[in-house]
Amino acid sequence: MSGSPPQVVAYVAAGSNIEPRRNLPAALEALRGREEVSGVSTAYRSRAVGPDGQVQPDAPDFLNAVFEVRAARGPVELKHEVLRPIEAGLGRTRGPDKFAPRTIDLDLVLYGEATMDTAGLRLPAPDLLSPFILVPLLELAPALVLPNSRQPLCCLWPGGIPAGMAPDGECTRVLKEILNR
């Protein structure tokens, strides 16, 4: 039997606070060249936070969005063979400070109904309930149910955009144009 491998709906959180209006679209372009991207959320500006959850006043603001992907690869392959090389191609370096500014951060936050906890990948991602991921994710998939708890995501968020987050119309416009090419 021939044909394409089955596709799984996955969600990738994308964030940047170094030239974000250049790096988010560049990441989307690169991802589209490797997987089918079927949706893009609004891009949201938010303040950088540190390990204590407090705003880092000297760090540049982030732009964050979520990409919906029809993945033909497994979750580990998607992360290591697609997302990490895109990050590296856009100049992302990883150091000991996981809160340091970055050109791009691409995190696989959901992969169909998969749940896993390995040294290299946790699904659903632990940061999934952070507003900068949850708000754009709910925009793309308002009826989404968490695979590990069977709880609707919409029940975990009171709705609206939290203080300190704002849509970035220009970046969103560019992302939507890329998606619709």
User: Would you list the domain boundaries of the chain?
Assistant: 8-179
Identify the CATH number of the domain defined by range 8-179.
3.30.70.560
Round to whole Å and give the CA distance between 99 and 82: 22
Round to whole Å and give the CA distance between 137 and 110: 10
Task: Determine what percent of the chain is predicted with pLDDT higher than 70.
Answer: 96
- The 10s digit of each residue's pLDDT in 142-179 is 999 988 787 888 888 887 888 889 999 999 999 999 99
- The 10s digit of each residue's pLDDT in 116-144 is 998 789 999 988 988 999 999 999 999 99
Residue pair 61/47 in contact by the 8 Å Cβ criterion: yes
Q: Which residues are catalytic?
A: 92, 102, 105, 107
